[in-house]
Amino acid sequence: MLDLDASPYGFFVWTSYGLTALVFAGLVWSSLAHARHWRKRAEQSDDTPK
Amino acid sequence: MIPVPAFLSNPERFMAFSRWAAPLFGGIAVLLGLAGLWYGFTAPEDYQHGDTVRIMFIHVPAAWMSMFVYVCLAVASFLSLVFRHALADCAARAAVPIGAAFTGLALVTGSLWGEPMWGTWWVWDARLTSVLVLFLVYLALLALRASLDDELKAARACAILALVGAVNLPIIHWSVNWWNTLHQGASVFTKSGPAMTSDYLIPLLLLSLAYMAAFGSLWLVSIRGEVWRRRADAAAQRLARA
**Among B199, B45, B106, residue whose Cα is nearest residue A4:** B45
Give residue B38's pLDDT.
Answer: 97
Concatenated DSSP letters for B84-146? --HHHHHHHHHHHHHHHHHHHHHHHHHHHHHHHHHS-S----HHHHHHHHHHHHHHHHHHHHH
Which of A4, A7, A38 has its CB closest to that of B228?
Answer: A38
**Among B61, B78, B70, residue whose Cα is nearest residue B96:** B70
- Residue ranges, chain B, pLDDT below 50: 1-2
Question: Does the pLDDT value for residue A46 go beyond 80?
Answer: no
In this prediction the pTM is: 0.93
Give residue A50's pLDDT.
Answer: 47
CB pair distance less than 8 Å for B228 and A26: no
Which of A3, A9, A44 has its CB closest to that of B41?
Answer: A3
Give residue B29's pLDDT.
Answer: 98
d(CA A49, CA B16): 10
Give residue A5's pLDDT.
Answer: 85
Q: What are phi and psi of B50, to 5 degrees?
A: 60, -140
d(CA B230, CA B165): 26
Give residue B9's pLDDT.
Answer: 66
CB pair distance less than 8 Å for B228 and A32: no
DSSP annotation of B44: P
Give residue B8's pLDDT.
Answer: 58
Which of A6, A32, A42 has its CB closest to that of B51?
Answer: A6
For residue A26, the chain B residues in CB contact (below 8 A) are: 101
